[in-house]
Amino acid sequence: MPLSPLPAALLSHMISISDVPPPPLHNIPSLKLPKNINYGQLNALCHIRGQHRRTTEDRKQSQPKPHDDSHNIAVHVRKVHGCHSLNGPKRFEERMEEFIAILKKLPVHRTTYEHHTVWKMLKLVPDLTSQLTDDHLKTLSKSVISETWVKGSTVVGNEGFYVILKGLARPRTKVYKHLIRGSEARSSLKPQSFHNLFYNEDFRSSALPEIYLGSRDSMLKQWNTFGTLEVLPQAASETQAYTVVTEDDCEILKIPAKEYAKIKSEKLKLENMRKEQLIRKCPYYVEWPTLSIYELIALIKWKKFPPGHVMVESGNIISYVAYINSGYCNIYKSIIGLVKLPPNKVKKIRKLVCMGKLKEKESFGEISILLGVPFTCTIITGTEVEVAIIEDTDLFDLDPVTRQLMLQTAKPTFGHLTDVSKMFKL
């Protein structure tokens, strides 16, 4: 088969150039080293720089890489609530700084997390936890503030209760100099006290007061307290001075006495409403006038009893009137029955038989106390029971009209169960 003209031309060209020798090789010119460069020192410097670079790179590699929390939702949630770290609990100093920063805000501008933080920190103050209920403390935590006092300031604590958060302060002490004998009688301020300190009138009239700073041993530091939570009348506040002088720039937490009085008043109103609702729902008191019910409210105390607690035994006079708020009580009657014994013998035994229950919004004990009548049954709690009680001594202090009203409306507890023993044969 004949070849194409183009491949034949290429083949002939390749054959023609195959005998041509390659071009000669040229030598690379030699480089001359400059005489003004000290290559020994240059090599030493390069060696040191290389070592430094390797050391730096090794150090960077050995350092732990920072943890990337950009995709951790827990970090963002804690930051929203004011907590910026997940690396374990904060140190106490950090917590104090956070606490003071929160107190600098107006209470209405604080978050739920910040209110909770203030409450937890207030629970670290023994003088507060020993005097206030947890509910009162939690409510107060939403209104407390922090005040900054510069060194040398005089802080008068007659309008509230104060807790030193930062710095030192020295209490001021009243010294009464007697006009006749010239002797001195000291009455030192007790910072850790809620009680008002009043001096005897005869002693005050025979002495002239002078104010002195307390000794350094009486210095108030962090978490120490002074002032009062009682609202003092104007006359008493002039003579009653809870006063300290700051030795440093201080941060002092203030709980206004009027705020505490407001909280107590609101709590008392709610408590009285709760008691009134309970009494009005009891069958014997449905038609009682409000004035008579309020006489009972002033005497009521709350108590809780565990399951199986004997409230009163048959044959005894109870020592209080009880209004059941939650839970129930079982009513037992002591029964004498006959038990068959072989052969053809019987034996008398005494046994408690459950006759019924006292449920929520029921009362008992009125007739037993006012008439001195022993109970004809035994009352035992079936579950944990919360009751509002009025002690017998308080009941006799009631107005005679109220006592007579109670006798007319109340009835003996299961008084109709006096002759039931004949109904049972064991």
Q: Above 60 in pLDDT, residue 282?
A: yes
Q: What is the Cα–Cα distance from 224 to 166, expressed in whole angstroms?
A: 10
Residues 413 and 331 sit within 8 Å (Cβ to Cβ):
yes
pLDDT tens per residue, range 184-237: 333 333 444 433 333 334 434 444 445 556 666 778 998 899 888 888 776 555
Stronger pLDDT, 79 or 103, i.e. the higher one: 103
Q: What is the Cα–Cα distance from 234 to 255, expressed in whole angstroms?
A: 19
- % of the chain beyond a pLDDT of 90: 42
Q: Specify the pLDDT at position 227.
A: 87
* Lowest mean per-residue pLDDT among 61-65, 131-135, 149-153, 310-314: 61-65
Q: Specify the pLDDT at position 70.
A: 59
* Lowest mean per-residue pLDDT among 167-181, 219-233, 258-272, 320-334: 167-181
Q: Specify the pLDDT at position 196.
A: 35
Q: What is the dihedral of CA 290, 293, 299, 303, to 10 degrees?
A: -120
Quick one: tokens of 414? 């299961």
Q: What is the Cα–Cα distance from 197 to 193, expressed in whole angstroms?
A: 9
What's the whole-number mean pLDDT along residues 282-289? 93
pLDDT tens per residue, range 332-377: 988 877 777 777 777 888 888 888 999 999 999 999 999 999 998 9
Q: Above 60 in pLDDT, residue 239?
A: no
Of 136, 133, 94, residue with least CA distance to 117: 94
- % of the chain beyond a pLDDT of 70: 64
Quick one: tokens of 274? 């709760």
Of 351, 350, 371, residue with least CA distance to 413: 371
Quick one: tokens of 382? 């079936």
Residues 213 and 249 sit within 8 Å (Cβ to Cβ):
no
Q: Specify the pLDDT at position 55.
A: 52
For 14, residues 6+ apart whose C-beta sits below 8 A from its C-beta are: none
Q: What is the Cα–Cα distance from 44 to 260, expressed in whole angstroms?
A: 80
Q: Specify the pLDDT at position 17.
A: 67
DSSP state of 220: B
Q: Residue 268: what residue type?
A: L
Q: Specify the pLDDT at position 306.
A: 95
Q: Above 90 in pLDDT, residue 53?
A: no
Radius of gyration from C-alpha coordinates of the chain: 45
Q: Specify the pLDDT at position 424.
A: 44
Whether the bond into 343 is cis, omega within 30 of 0: yes
Q: Specify the pLDDT at position 242.
A: 78
Handedness of CA 104, 106, 110, 114 (dihedral sign): positive
DSSP state of 281: H
Q: Give the DSSP letter string of 54-82.
A: HHHHHHHHHSPPPP--TT-HHHHHHHHTT
19 SS3 class = coil
Of 250, 102, 94, 229, residue with least CA distance to 164: 250
Q: Specify the pLDDT at position 147.
A: 92
The alpha helices in 25-155, defined as continuous H runs, are: 39-62, 73-80, 92-103, 112-122, 126-129, 134-140
Q: What is the pTM of this model?
A: 0.57
Of 48-62, 207-221, 389-403, where does the model show the most confidence?
389-403
Count of alpha carbons within 13 angstroms of residue 97, beta-carbon side: 6
E strands, 241-283, where?
243-246, 250-256
Q: Above 60 in pLDDT, residue 295?
A: yes
Q: Specify the pLDDT at position 391.
A: 95
Q: Above 50 in pLDDT, residue 163?
A: yes
